[in-house]
Amino acid sequence: MNDDVLATVIDILTTKAGLPPGPVTPTATLQEAGVDSMAAAVLAMILEDDHHLVITETALTAQSTVADLAAFIETQLATRA
């Protein structure tokens, strides 16, 4: 997995979506990381605005861990390319 994507996802969740940074680690489940509907919406909107990637919040929150979430987004970016 591309570490840049993981770093970007963590950065969005903690600096844009307002999640406390402590629990947002690669191995944390999305629940442990505190990813809620607001965080998912922020992430989806940034992916769409900045990366022209449309992914539903449902698809984002279906991932297990933060690392899985980043890997899923990376796959979607690659597919789009």
Q: Which is nearer to other proteins, 45 or 53 (CB)?
A: 45
Q: Which is nearer to other proteins, 1 or 50 (CB)?
A: 50
Q: Which is nearer to other proteins, 4 or 48 (CB)?
A: 48
Residues that bind other proteins (CB under 8 A): 16-18, 20, 23, 31-32, 34-38, 41-42, 45-46, 57, 61
For the chain, how big is the Rg over CA atoms in Å?
A: 11
- Residue 16 near residue 42, CB atoms below 8 Å: yes
- Distance between CA atoms of residues 18 and 3, nearest Å: 21
